[in-house]
Amino acid sequence: MRELFSINSPFFEMTDKAVRLVWLSILWILCSIPVITIGASTTALYSVTLKYVRDEEGYLTSSFFRAFKENFRQSSLIWGMSLAAGIFLFMDFAFYYRGGFHHSLSVFLFTVFMGVFVTFLFANIYVYPLLAYFDNTIKHTISNGLIMAVRHLPSSMAMLVLAFAILVAGFLFFPPLLFAAPGLTAYINSRILRKIFDQYHAASYG
Specify if 128 maps to a domain. yes
Which pLDDT score, from 0 to 100, does residue 69 have?
Answer: 94
What percent of the chain is modeled with pLDDT above 90? 45
Q: Tens of pLDDT along 113-154?
A: 777 778 888 888 999 999 999 888 999 999 999 999 989 999
Q: Tens of pLDDT along 82-117?
A: 888 888 877 777 766 665 555 666 667 677 777 777
Mean pLDDT is lowest, of 13-17, 52-56, 141-145, 174-178, for 13-17
Specify if 193 maps to a domain. yes
Average pLDDT over residues 18-46: 93
pLDDT bin (cut points 50, 70, 90) of residue 79 is very high
Which pLDDT score, from 0 to 100, does residue 135 have?
Answer: 86
Average pLDDT over residues 46-67: 87
Please list, in sequence order, all residues whose beta carbon lies within 8 angstroms of the beta carbon of residue 42, skipping any fewer than 6 positions away.
28, 32, 75, 79, 128, 186
Specify if 102 maps to a domain. no
Question: What's the whole-model pTM score?
Answer: 0.85
Instruction: Name the residue range of residue 40's domain.
Output: 10-90+118-205
Number of separate domains in the chain = 1
Specify if 95 maps to a domain. no
Which pLDDT score, from 0 to 100, does residue 100 have?
Answer: 59
Average pLDDT over residues 177-189: 92
Specify if 113 maps to a domain. no
Dist. CA 88–CA 119, nearest whole Å: 14
Average pLDDT over residues 58-81: 91
Specify if 17 maps to a domain. yes
Which pLDDT score, from 0 to 100, does residue 52 have?
Answer: 87
Specify if 111 maps to a domain. no
pLDDT bin (cut points 50, 70, 90) of residue 156 is very high
Amino acid identity of 194? R
pLDDT bin (cut points 50, 70, 90) of residue 205 is very low
